[in-house]
Structure 1
Amino acid sequence: MTRAPGRLRLAAGQAVSVPGDLATNVATAVSLVRDAADQGARVVVLPELFLTGYDEAAWTHDASLDLDDAALEPLSEVARSRSVVVVVGAAVRRAVDPATGSGRHASTLSVLVVDPEGEVTAPYDKQHLSGPERDFFTPGDHGATIVVDGWELALGVCYDGCFPEHALAATAGGAAAYLVPAAYYVGAEHRRDVYYAARALDNGIYVAFAGLTGTCGTGSFSGGTAVYDPEGRPVRRLGLEPGVVVADLDADEVARVQREHPMATDRRDSLGPRTRVVLAG
């Protein structure tokens, strides 16, 4: 069973992202973080590729950002001044290993984490790339969890959360919450609302889903940012409007749900062979 200490106030936010305009997107992210911090949030989750834009024109290797880009400093400053952890999506340019050539011209669809000291890292790269993302990005090769005030917070990105085993692996590793920056096109609202509620219910953990909203390049996105409780109910949810939702994560609620509905631990590693019986025809 997962156990985390006490409560953690977490926010998930959404807004419009401008393809290739890092400075504008950073400024928007800073505004969302300030709003969340004003409401007492310790962790703020923002959408997939928010800083660089969910648009193919912003996905080239040259358009991807470096983690030491000076344009990220306002985000570092707000994390330092408000003592918050920021989790946000971006296309990241990865270094080439001169010995092996590994990573040559590689970019990743990543989760950036800005800690309360203002340090920027990219501990997780999206493992399940979707559609044209595969033409631009190298998939991640490992899962990742960050620890904030004793809370184990697993990281995923959008399509990752459509695969039950992704959140299951995080829960097995001790995660009490699953943070998912995402971008869902208008028209996919039903799937969006089912997947992440299901990941919470499957595992008895909180899920924070931060969805891109509005128009970004050629795409129109449906928002739907929400925090789901360990039984899969939305604690707070947005529609299309920019803003943040704030929720208190409760370790006792995680423990209660996992005790009463232990689906994650009752899961069998194998269901054995399948028999097939033809009764007619």
Structure 2
Amino acid sequence: MKLAIVQLEPVKGDIEKNITQHVSWIKKAAQQGADMVVFPELSLSGYEPELASSIATNQDDKRLDVIQALSNEYQVTVGAGLPTRDGDNLFISMIIFRPSQARITYSKQFLYPTETSVFTAANNPLALPFGAETVAPAICYELSNKEHHEMAAQNKATAYVASVLNAVSGVDADLEKLGDIAKQYQMTTMMANFIGTSGGYACAGKSSVWNKDGQLLAQLGTEEEGMIVFDTETKEANIVAENR
């Protein structure tokens, strides 16, 4: 299996423009033979809590059909972030597009304290089987919660893929945590982060991949957009695209 993570700079609150960005990266991931590609937290809108209520949607939004079409065409699973709504509840979600299958909405179960006044915590543990591999998605602050790692391990996850907004001030601590998660649970770990500014945060980049021993295999820089692809058979992680 090949797992890809993308590091990009979002356009604040502009779902259509961000979809265009995603389309380009999905095609690049497909060219590398990726079976799954994951984008940063709220990648389709940017991390903008103050805009969440006005732009929240759901997995059936027709604007997302182009991503589903690419998933079908290239046989690649895509995880892309978006605020979603269920009645009065707003969620930080990852829409998972699967080839010729129904979409899945995975929503953040462990909220950062500043998010609780806007968003609702979900209760929807998820692990995605890919033959011999099982991928557990995580959304940002979840990687700081042992209960979340434990759920992934109980679901026999072989890869833990964190979709984040990580600021310059906090990234190094989270990089250390992800290396520790990999080693403790013998799971490949991956982190997809933004660059630029989102939600008023200076985003840190440094999207990374660790092997099951907690060794850092590949890391993007702090300013470039790019992608890393990890091959679960060869255990190699390669930076395959940069466009800045």
On whether the aligned pair clears a TM of 0.5, the verdict is yes
Normalised to the residue count of structure 1, the TM-score between the two structures is 0.79
| Aligned residue in 1 for 2:90 | 107
How far 1:217 sits from its partner (Å)?
A: 4.5
Residue 252 of structure 1, CA deviation:
9.4
Give the structure 2 partner of residue 207 of structure 1. 189
Distance 1:235 1:116 in 2: 29
Once the two structures are superposed, the pairs formed by residues 188-267 of structure 1 within 5 Å of their partners are 188-240=170-222, 241-250=224-233
Closer, same or farther in 2 for the Cα pair 1:194/1:134, shift >3 Å?
Answer: same
- Match of 1:262? none
User: In the aligned structure 1, how far is the partner of 2:154 from the partner of 2:199?
Assistant: 38
Q: Are 1:120 and 2:113 counterparts?
A: no
CA distance in 2, matches of 1:21, 1:9: 30
Q: CA deviation at 1:58?
A: 2.2
1:157 paired residue number: 139
Matched, 1:168 2:150: yes
The alpha-carbon deviation at position 149 of structure 1 amounts to 3.1
Deviations 1:51-103 (A, max 9, x none): 1210123222x321221111112211211111100012211112xxxxxxxxx
Match of 2:57 in 1: 65
Asked if 1:177 is matched to 2:159, the reply is yes
Supply the AA of the counterpart residue of 2:40: P
> How far did residue 134 of structure 1 move?
1.0
1:252–1:195 Cα change, 3 Å = closer
Q: Which blocks of at least 5 consecutive residues in structure 1 are unaligned?
A: 1-7, 95-103, 254-281
Per the normalisation by structure 2, the TM-score is 0.90
Q: Which runs of 4+ in 1 moved over 4 A?
A: none
**Residue 78 (structure 2) pairs with residue 86 (structure 1):** yes
Distance in 1, matches of 2:101 and 2:27, equals 14
Measure how far apart 1:218 and its partner are.
2.3
CA contact (8 A) 1:16 1:213 kept: yes
Aligned 8 A contact 2:211 2:235 in 1:
no
- Alpha-carbon RMSD: 1.9
**CA distance change for structure 1 residues 90 and 203 in 2, over 3 Å: closer, same or farther?**
same
Counterpart AA for 1:80: N
Structure with larger Rg:
1
CA positional deviation for 1:195: 1.4
Deviations along 1:245-280, whole A, 9 cap, x unmatched? Answer: 011114999xxxxxxxxxxxxxxxxxxxxxxxxxxx
After superposition, the Cα gap between the structure-2 partners of 1:246 and 1:203, relative to the gap in structure 1 and judged at 3 Å, is same
Deviation track 1:203-259 (CA, whole Å, cap 9, x = no partner) reads 001112111221124222111211211011122211121110011114999xxxxxx
Provide the aligned length of Structure 1 versus Structure 2. Answer: 235
- Which residue number in structure 2 is paired with residue 136 of structure 1? 118
Q: Structure 1 CA distance, aligned partners of 2:200 and 2:209?
A: 28
Percent identity over the alignment is 27
Distance 2:24 2:59 in 1: 20
1:152 deviates by 1.4
State which of 59, 75, 81 in structure 1 corresponds to 2:67.
75
